[in-house]
């Protein structure tokens, strides 16, 4: 199931768990409300695969050429980084960032999107971008990323993603200044993820 469908399924599962707690506490009350809530939970579960089907599929569905990003993410000489480390200079190829449970990740700043239970998180710091400009930050798998620089989160200038493209799941464009920045990853389903940060063409 695609990443978006997985998030919808997790939301539905959590909703159903809460519903069962309510049912246990109110066995003789709120029957109409409980029935309506049950119907809503079923609706969430049925919508998940439909939303997954709406996601672009295939490498040709990205909004811009991703050949360089894909090559960097799948290169055999990718640098291996432990969460919490610092990188002196941006590698010319991709990186494999090890991830841990969110409670153990000790992210410098709480992510803008709270991570789900059962996912992984991590971060790495960079002393500086080679020069100010637009960079693509690409991931091999679905996850939430936060880029912070000069004390605040940066907003992506552009975003593109697609399923069923080996080696790359999403790519974003950020405007970085020539100063230190931090890349945080959360919500990943595996305990490692490949990342590529490249000058935008």
Buried b (16+ CB within 10 A) or exposed e, 111-144: beeebbeebbbbbbebebbeeeeebbbbbbbbbb
User: Are 117 and 182 part of one and the same domain?
Assistant: yes
User: Are 115 and 167 part of one and the same domain?
Assistant: yes
Q: Are 182 and 55 a contacting pair, CB within 8 Å?
A: no
Least confident of 15-29, 72-86, 124-138: 15-29
Domain count, the chain: 2
d(CA 181, CA 173): 15
Residue bearing the bigger pLDDT, 184 or 18: 184
User: Are 36 and 132 part of one and the same domain?
Assistant: no
User: Are 81 and 180 part of one and the same domain?
Assistant: yes
| Residues 6+ positions from 154 with CB-CB distance below 8 Å | 147, 148, 174, 175, 176, 181
- Per-residue pLDDT reduced to its tens digit, 14-30: 554 554 454 555 554 44
User: Are 122 and 77 part of one and the same domain?
Assistant: yes
User: Are 94 and 174 part of one and the same domain?
Assistant: yes
User: Are 75 and 134 part of one and the same domain?
Assistant: yes
Give the chain's length: 201
User: Are 97 and 115 part of one and the same domain?
Assistant: yes
Structural domain containing residue 39: 3-54
- Per-residue pLDDT reduced to its tens digit, 87-99: 998 888 999 999 9
| Residues 6+ positions from 173 with CB-CB distance below 8 Å | 134, 135, 136, 137, 156, 157, 158, 159, 200
Last residue of a domain, one of 54, 71, 91: 54
Closest CA to 61 of 160, 138, 137, 156: 160
CATH number reported for the structural domain that contains residue 119 in this entry? 2.60.120
Strand partners, 163: 57
Last residue of a domain, one of 54, 79, 97: 54
User: Are 44 and 111 part of one and the same domain?
Assistant: no
pTM: 0.73
Q: What is the mean pLDDT of residues 100-111?
A: 95
User: Are 120 and 70 part of one and the same domain?
Assistant: yes
User: Are 125 and 33 part of one and the same domain?
Assistant: no
- pLDDT at residue 44 greater than cutoff 70: no
User: Are 101 and 117 part of one and the same domain?
Assistant: yes
d(CA 187, CA 124): 16
pLDDT recorded at residue 2: 39
Residue bearing the bigger pLDDT, 43 or 176: 176
């Amino acid at each position: 199931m695609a990443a978006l469908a997985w998030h919808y399924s997790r939301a539905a599962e959590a909703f159903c768990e809460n519903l069962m707690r309510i049912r246990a506490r109110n066995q003789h009350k709120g029957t109409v409300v409980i029935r309506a809530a049950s119907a809503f939970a079923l609706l969430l579960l049925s919508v998940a695969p439909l939303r997954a089907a709406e996601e672009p599929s295939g490498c040709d569905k990205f909004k811009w050429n991703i050949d360089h990003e894909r090559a960097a993410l799948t290169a055999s000489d990718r640098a291996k980084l432990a969460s919490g480390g610092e990188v002196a200079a941006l590698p010319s190829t991709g990186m494999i960032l090890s991830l841990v449970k969110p409670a153990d990740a000790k992210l410098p700043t709480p992510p803008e999107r709270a991570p789900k239970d059962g996912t992984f998180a991590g971060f790495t710091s960079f002393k500086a971008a080679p020069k100010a400009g637009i960079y693509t930050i690409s991931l091999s798998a679905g996850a939430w990323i936060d880029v912070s620089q000069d004390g605040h989160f940066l907003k992506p200038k552009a975003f593109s993603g697609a399923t069923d493209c080996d080696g790359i799941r999403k790519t974003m464009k950020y405007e970085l200044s020539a100063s230190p920045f931090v890349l945080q990853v959360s919500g990943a389903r595996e305990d490692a993820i490949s990342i590529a940060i490249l000058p935008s063409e």
